[in-house]
Chain A
Amino acid sequence: EVVLTQSPDTLSLSPGERATLSCRASQSFGSSLAWYQQKPGQAPRLLLYDVSKRATGIPDRFSGSGSGTDFTLTISSLEPDDFAVYYCQQRTSLGAWPFGQGTKVEIK
């Protein structure tokens, strides 16, 4: 079973600051890594796929990097709208798609 571990659990930052979120997978499965943003009371929204490709309409302050089992989501300069919970997700060899436990980005 693939386990995705995100860190930190909570990130306290101010608008304008840079956010760096980490996702570590227990096993590697190519570049099938995605990041989602979820705000309270809303469904998740796809931000990045294939590690670093932005989904439609996602601003370029969101970027992704990494390979193998270690991945990073970077928000270059936090906007008020970016304070939310972020999840990573990766495909497994059996075709399942588990999520990480999430990182909450909160206003400091």
Chain B
Amino acid sequence: EMQLVQSGAEVKKPGESLKISCKVSGYSFTTNWIAWVRQMPGQGLEWMAMIKPTNSETRYNPSFQGQVTVSVDRSITTAYMEWSSLKASDTAIYFCARHGLKSTYYYTDVWGKGTAVTVS
């Protein structure tokens, strides 16, 4: 069974750093891009970034470029997203998701349950 297991909820103070994780199992980690999606309290989904585990190629939403960094550790089939200095406005749930090939394009077809980040 394909699974993306995300790290647990975090409570941090403004200015602190944070790295959350997304552990992949059930398929070949290097085959599919991994996306990160933000959902602020009571708000919609925002596509933040994606990373190709094979070579760590990345694509960022311009709104998040420079605000977060995505990375992978292929040895433990895990993707990460990190902040160097959190703000209160980073309070949200963060989802990771696999881009799986569906016919023509790669869509986010398997999702993690999300990591809740509270900055206060």
A interface with B by C-beta (< 8 Å): 1, 30-32, 34, 36, 38, 42-46, 49-50, 53, 55, 85, 87, 89, 91, 94-102
- Give the residue of A44, A53, A91 whose beta carbon is less than 8 angstroms from that of B103: A53
- Flag if B104 contacts A46 (CB, 8 Å): no
Question: Could you tell me the distance between the alpha carbons of A32 and B108 in the complex, rounded to whole angstroms?
Answer: 12
- Give the residue of A44, A87, A91 whose beta carbon is less than 8 angstroms from that of B95: A44
Q: How many residues of B contact A (CB 8 A)?
A: 23
B interface with A by C-beta (< 8 Å): 35, 37, 44-47, 50, 59, 61-62, 95, 97, 102-105, 107-109, 111-114
| Chain B residues closer than 8 Å to A46, beta-carbon distance | 107-109
| Chain B residues closer than 8 Å to A98, beta-carbon distance | 47, 61
Ranked 9 nearest A-B pairs via Cβ = A43-B111, A102-B44, A99-B45, A49-B102, A32-B105, A49-B107, A101-B44, A97-B47, A46-B109
